[in-house]
Amino acid sequence: MARVLSPPQDDDKIGKKIDYVAKLLGLSLAPQGYARKGRDLVAAIGDDPDMSWLIINLQGNKWNEGAYGAFFVNLSVQFPCVCREVSKIQSYEWIADCAEKPHEASGQYRERLEGVLPRKLFRGFFSENEIVATDLAKHREINIKSGTSLDMVALQLSEAIVSYAFPWFELRSSLKVLRDGTHSAFIGPSFVDRIAAAILANDREAGNRVIAELGAKLPVAKASAIRKWIIDSGFDPSGIPVSPTEPLPSGT
């Protein structure tokens, strides 16, 4: 028998209403492999080292109070193997914790749902009956007011996620894409994320290309530890700046 949830009352706290939307989304997206924990919906795809977590997170507005408010929808792609590899760098050890469980803020790619919607939504081509599209186009968040149908919000949000977030996830859920930096996001992969992806793919040519392209932009304070990591991984460190107090490699 299908699970039936009882919607909150209009005067219930806004947090309870956001939780209800998250529960409905969990039921709607379960057939696509998403499991809900709190306000996170997570799917694990691929096999090591290419395994990634695809994360949908409902984030309440910090000004929410009482029965009404709003929430953002965050999207994130997190590669646990990349987190583990980056944690080998001195002073980056804490990142190993990010490999233990999915967390939106730990993703190598991060975006908000409105960032993946078609641009036409932001030029006024939306129906006033479309709660999600209208709110994201105007406010970048979904508003819950007196009389808002939470069931309709969840339904429209599910449709938007399947239509637009799923393709966004698909384009960014491989180490090759991460390594090459070929798809952008509001927060995209860092230099060390891209090198870690090359190390995991055992692709020295691509890794050395990224080092040559971006290595000179590294802050000198971080360069020494990153240089050692790159050398230990068998990659060419010549594109990484050398600290004035750091001895040059022999033969340089």
| pLDDT tens digits for range 151-197 | 999 999 999 999 999 999 999 999 999 999 989 899 999 999 999 99
Which structural domain, as residue segments, surrounds residue 35? 14-173
**Is 208 within a domain?**
no
pLDDT at 129: 62
**Is 89 within a domain?**
yes
Query: Taking Cα atoms as reference points, which of 70, 68, 75, 42 lies closest to residue 171?
Result: 75
Which 8-state DSSP code applies to residue 68? B
pTM above 0.85, yes or no: yes
Number of folded domains that form the chain? 1
Beta partners for residue 144, in sequence order: 69
Which 8-state DSSP code applies to residue 165? I
pLDDT at 3: 63
**Is 117 within a domain?**
yes
**Is 115 within a domain?**
yes
Residue reference for tokens 């039936």 = 4
Contact 189, 176 (CB under 8 A): no
**Is 98 within a domain?**
yes
d(CA 236, CA 252): 13
d(CA 28, CA 16): 18
**Is 84 within a domain?**
yes
| pLDDT tens digits for range 47-59 | 988 899 999 999 9
pLDDT at 65: 93
C-alpha Rg value of the chain to the nearest Å: 21
In the structure encoding, which two tokens stand for residue 140, read together?
Answer: 């970048």
In the structure encoding, which two tokens stand for residue 102, read together?
Answer: 């999915």
Which 8-state DSSP code applies to residue 186? S
**Is 241 within a domain?**
no
**Is 128 within a domain?**
yes
Sheet strands (E) in the chain: 35-37, 40-45, 52-60, 69-78, 109-112, 142-144
Question: How distant is the alpha carbon of residue 76 from its chain centre?
Answer: 2
For Cα atoms 170, 154, 24, give the angle at the middle one, nearest 5 degrees: 90
pLDDT at 252: 42
pLDDT at 128: 54
Beta partners for residue 57, in sequence order: 40, 74
pLDDT under 50: residue ranges of the chain: 1, 125, 244-245, 247-248, 250-252
